[in-house]
Structure 1
Amino acid sequence: MNQPQLQQLTEQISQQFFGKEFRHKAVFNDRLKTTGGRYLLGTHDIELNRRYLEEHGRDELIGIIKHELCHYHLHLEGKGYQHRDREFKELLKQVGAPRFCTPLRAVQNRRGPQKRHDYVCTGCGKHFIRKRRFDTSRYVCGVCKGKLTWHRTIDSV
């Protein structure tokens, strides 16, 4: 699918499901990594991830287009267009658009084992598991105000 075909599909979906014209641009953005698409508030354009078409097919791409068109039409009407807004959730249900897109396989596989850091309080013996290491001289235990020491690094999946 090329740019003109994507533009035509987006205009057709907008007319069919929303009964309104799509007057801006719909383009593929190959730099998108973890999301299926995005609606740009400043230009009112829609950018879509081409890999969703290649990996999940046309139906998934149509769902993403519907989702972004919900943002588009609600924003132009001055209604709640964000994910947390009731109007957005209701419009998603009306047009049959997904709230979130299916993750790409490449994104799922890219994340390997994640390290966790285990800290122990010398006062009460409580363990604190954290994603990032931190300077133990700057922090104390939240339970007893005792000194924290780094205990070990844990490899988790």
Structure 2
Amino acid sequence: MDKDLTHLTKEISEAFFGKPFRHTAKFNNRLRTTGGRYMLSSHDIEINPKQYEWFGEEELISIIKHELCHYHLHLEGKGFKHRDHDFKVLLNKVGGARHCQEVPGTKNKKKQVHYYQCSACGCEYKRYRRMDTSKFVCGKCKGKIKKI
């Protein structure tokens, strides 16, 4: 499957950029919140397979164009970052996606909040991580803390 992706990436590179893609493109199942990424050190491209599964080949091609913009601009020594003018112009020229679509179920869920209170002075603490009340005391009066 990665061979097919590399072959597709080479075809898109020749057709839209007029330049060869000389590295590899592969699917990376660990990608969650992004459609793909260009690796600066190895010059490889990694694609989120869920984008292809959920949105099809059209979205995949759009993501590949986006990553190829990073690839070609980086190799040419031009501005390859999202904020750079060169990147924005080239992305608009080839018709790549600025942002990928959101895969259902990947959005971060709201974090659970834990509330604690000092039994001596009544000082309240709001924490996003649970804490062991036997190991900690109130920062103001050194009183015992309990979960509320």
Q: 1:60 to 1:131 in 2, by over 3 A?
A: farther
CA distances 1:113-155 after superposition (whole Å, capped 9, x unpaired): 34579xxxxxxxxxxxx9858xx969xxxxxxxxxxxxxx9xx
* Aligned-partner Cα distance in 2 for 1:49–1:34: 9
Match in the other structure for 1:11: 10
Match in the other structure for 1:71: 70
CA distances 1:50-94 after superposition (whole Å, capped 9, x unpaired): 111101111111000000000000000000000110100111100
* 4+ residue segments displaced more than 6 Å: none
Match in the other structure for 2:86: 87
Match in the other structure for 2:51: 52
1:112 aligns with 2:102: no
RMSD: 2.3
Structure with the greater alpha carbon radius of gyration: 2
Q: Which has the higher strand share?
A: 1
Identity of aligned residues (%): 52
- What code does the residue aligned with 1:58 have? E
Q: Size of the alignment, in residue pairs?
A: 123
Q: Which runs of 5+ in 2 are unaligned?
A: 115-125, 130-137, 141-147
Q: Contact 2:43 / 2:71 at 8 angstroms: preserved in 1?
A: yes
* Aligned-partner Cα distance in 1 for 2:127–2:47: 32
* Aligned-partner Cα distance in 1 for 2:68–2:4: 17
Match of 2:106, SS state, is helix
For residues 141-156 of structure 1, the aligned pairs below 5 Å read none
Match of 1:92, SS state, is helix
Q: Which runs of 5+ in 1 are unaligned?
A: 118-129, 139-152
Match in the other structure for 1:102: 101
Match of 1:27, SS state, is strand
- Tell me how far 1:34 sits from its aligned partner: 1.3
* Aligned-partner Cα distance in 2 for 1:113–1:92: 34
TM-score by length of 2: 0.75
* Aligned-partner Cα distance in 2 for 1:11–1:25: 9
- What code does the residue aligned with 1:55 have? W
Match of 1:93, SS state, is helix
